[in-house]
Amino acid sequence: MNWADLRWLVPELVLAAAAVALVGADLLVPADRKRWLGGVALASLVAAGAACAVLLTDLGGLGAPGVRVFADTYTVDAFAVYFKLVALAAVALVALVSLDYFPGRTPHLGEVFSLLLFAGVGLLLMASASDLILLLLSIEFVSLSSYLLAGFLKRDPKSNEAGVKYFLYGAATTGVMAYGFSLLYGLTGSTILYDIAARLERAGPAAFLAVGMALAGFGFKVSMVPFHQWTPDVYEGAPTPITAFLSVGPKAAGFAALVRTLSVGVPLEQVNWPVLLAALSAVTMTVGNLLALLQRNLKRMLAYSSIAHAGYVLIALAAWKSPWALQGLLYYLLAYLFMNLGAFFVAMVAAEGTGSDEIPDHAGLSQRAPWVAAAMVVFMLSLTGIPPTAGFFGKFYLFAAAVDAGLLWLAALAVANSVVSLYYYVGVLRALYLMPPAAPGPIPVSAGLRAGVLGALIGTLAAGVYPQPLVTFMEVARRLLGS
């Protein structure tokens, strides 16, 4: 191994070191003084973000080609750095709102932040992995941390159920994905994506089977139908900050890994995977939206909404031949990060004030926490895709890619699904603004949660009002990935 290659792993090493330190600190620091451990986690995330910026400098600038290190198993380029920053932003916002959520619910506060950082390490590795073994290990690293976080509140039966269900579904889909990876290795004699692409020639049905089985693991991570069954139960039962993390962090990294695996390792000339993903996109967005219509629990509604949004993002892969495709995927995942985290953060405020996650019980939030309710309006409109929010421009890119690739039917179905989603998103706003509050008095909002809501709100509006910096970054990433 070339030890000089370790400099490309500085963000991961920073998070891993902080995570290990937090485990030790959790054993030594008294329970009533552990809140500052969250500050250590946030500081390490900022340091990792700065290290990602240094990676771009070391590459030679935004438009410079990427580097392959550790015998071509790890690729660092603008595409990878983009998703590393997205993952770090997701973990940082969740850690911020966790500062006031977990104290009083668990004495092991350091373990919560340690697991979040370990999950962050896995997300960063997923964004750069160009070897099937490293990719599988990265996915499992994220999964194991997520299983523990979902079931972390041991005295809460719903949290226990969430952790067990998440583990069982994850174990099953990982096994299927590993078998698919083994087929690719058997067909090509290599686990490195660049070698697989060069050797995968006229593999026939076996290559289609390998790609289909690999999609099981990716589908689990991004909540794609038919691998979505775990999502509503886990989202409802897990601690709300962890639910927020699961809805954006693993999803973004899962799509990053899926894009690199298919675009680099599986040439379109050998396996026409966009056809399969077009069908999965149509089914995923439709099932997610139709089931969301039936929900009264806000977390379950957002869970099915998350499934629908995975279907929207899959449009980019279905329309991969369009130059709009990768740009739409990159933009939409960042927009989704802010608007979906914001929606979950508002759900935390409402649940803290009412003791319930049911939408009718959040009636009158506009009177009890006016600015939080106003932020929810922005998040719901952005999730629907209404300008000038980030969600509008994200969907514009995705739908334009579908039209440009000749998938008019998929674009029309996506527009129809967006109209359907407006019904249940507006239903939340109706409860917040038009229904009388069940109890009088304002709802107190903790400092960490207030900062989380404001951060998500600023991100949602900024990405919609001034998207040009992101557009520039996305264009560079598209060129470097060869899309």
Q: With a cut of 50, say whether residue 344 has pLDDT above it.
A: yes
Assigned domain for 82 exists: no
Q: With a cut of 70, say whether residue 481 has pLDDT above it.
A: no
**Looking at per-residue confidence, does 59 or 235 come out higher?**
235
Mean pLDDT of 122-148: 92
> Packing angle between helix 109-128 and helix 10-28, nearest 10 degrees?
170
Question: Tell me, what's the pLDDT at 1?
Answer: 54
* Residue that is written with structure tokens 């909404």 in the block: 305
For the chain, the domain total comes to 1
pTM for the full predicted model: 0.92
Q: Pinpoint the alpha helices (H) of 385-407.
A: 390-404
The 3-state DSSP class for residue 300 equals: helix
Write out pLDDT tens, residues 147-201.
999 988 888 888 888 888 899 988 888 899 999 999 999 888 889 998 888 887 6
To 10 degrees, the CA torsion angle through 188, 191, 193, 196?
0
Read off the tokens for 358: 């049911």
Q: With a cut of 90, say whether residue 283 has pLDDT above it.
A: yes
Domain membership of residue 420 as a residue range: 280-483
Assigned domain for 100 exists: no
Of all residues in the chain, what percent are helix, strand and coil, respectively (each to 5)?
A: 80, 0, 20
Q: What is d(CA 455, CA 382) in angstroms, rounded to the nearest whole number? A: 15
At 483, the pLDDT band (50, 70, 90 cuts) reads: very low
The 3-state DSSP class for residue 424 equals: helix
Taking CA 430 as the corner, what is the angle to CA 384 and CA 94, rounded to the nearest 5 degrees? 60
Question: Tell me, what's the pLDDT at 106?
Answer: 77
Q: What is d(CA 150, CA 31) in angstroms, rounded to the nearest whole number? A: 21
Assigned domain for 172 exists: no
Mean pLDDT of 24-43: 81
Asked if 110 and 37 count as a contact pair (C-beta separation under 8 A), the reply is yes
Burial class (CB in 10 A: 0-12, 13-18, 19+), 23: middle
Amino acid type, 68:
R
- Taking alpha carbons only, the member of 113, 105, 102 closest to residue 44 is 113
Assigned domain for 108 exists: no
Q: What is d(CA 148, CA 290) in angstroms, rounded to the nearest whole number? A: 30
SS (HEC) of 67-113: EEECCCCEEECHHHHHHHHHHHHHHHHHHHHHHHHCCCCCCCHHHHH
Question: Tell me, what's the pLDDT at 55?
Answer: 87
Write out pLDDT tens, residues 352-371.
888 888 898 888 888 888 99
Asked if 310 and 412 count as a contact pair (C-beta separation under 8 A), the reply is no
Residue 208's Cβ-side half-sphere holds a number of Cα atoms within 13 Å equal to: 9
Write out pLDDT tens, residues 366-388.
888 899 999 999 999 999 998 88
Question: Tell me, what's the pLDDT at 423?
Answer: 92
Assigned domain for 43 exists: no
**Looking at per-residue confidence, does 11 or 26 come out higher?**
11
Question: Tell me, what's the pLDDT at 475?
Answer: 66
Assigned domain for 447 exists: yes
Name the β-bridge partners of 68.
75
Mean pLDDT of 220-241: 89
Strands 74-76 and 67-69: antiparallel
Share of the chain above pLDDT 90, in %: 43
Assigned domain for 445 exists: yes
Question: Tell me, what's the pLDDT at 287?
Answer: 95
Assigned domain for 144 exists: no
Question: Tell me, what's the pLDDT at 61?
Answer: 61
What's the whole-number average pLDDT of the chain? Answer: 88
**Looking at per-residue confidence, does 102 or 31 come out higher?**
102
Which residues fall within 8 angstroms of residue 195, CB to CB, at 6 or more apart? 72, 188, 189
Q: With a cut of 60, say whether residue 480 has pLDDT above it.
A: no
